[in-house]
Amino acid sequence: MSIKLQPVLENEQVILYPLKENDFEDLYAVASDPQIWEQHPNKDRWQKEVFQTFFEGAMQSKGAFKITNKASGKTIGSTRFYDYDKENDSILIGYTFYATSSWGTGINKAVKALMLDYIFQFVSKVYFHIGANNVRSQIAISRIGAEKIREQEVAYFGEPDRLNFIYEIPKEKWETLNVSK
């Protein structure tokens, strides 16, 4: 069974669509809020030229999504699958951001549940890179059952390396937590 890294994923709250070149302006309208990037390692990503580099990396990853609020039809963020490792039977989920209007609404949990339910058909471990100073994301990822396992300098596409914490959630743990059910 081969992995399709950009299926359309949908639940009651959100629809994840494969990111397309013509999504740039719509997604930048969300990403242009500096508050989104306050705790992120690359705090200037709200600037259009910096976001353009981020977007190019998302397109090249061939695993990026545009996140749409199902009720409103509005774009509320982006996320992606990346760095599939067949030998380690693992993949990463990350580069996730949401409109501030979605914070604290359960959207992150809904998105991660969709992605994890899907990808655990193909891998046994999922990792997450979380910026060392991004406490908000560290708390959010811990709430779905991921645990910090190490620290690593991460090279962002077209941006400087930054210290990240690596979180992991194995398939068996995800299934016992039943987070998405």
92-110 as b/e, with b when 16 or more CB fall inside 10 Å? bbbbbbbbeebeeeebbeb
Query: What would you report as the CA-atom Rg of the chain, rounded to the nearest whole angstrom?
Result: 15
Tens of pLDDT along 78-129?
999 999 999 999 999 999 999 999 998 999 999 999 999 999 999 999 999 9
* pTM for the whole structure: 0.92
**Domain covering 9-177 assigned CATH 3.40.630.30 in the classification:** yes
- The domain limits of the chain are 9-177
The answer to whether 129 touches 166, Cβ cutoff 8 Å, is yes
DSSP-derived pairing of the beta strands 9-10 and 14-18: antiparallel
Tens of pLDDT along 55-74?
999 999 999 999 999 999 99
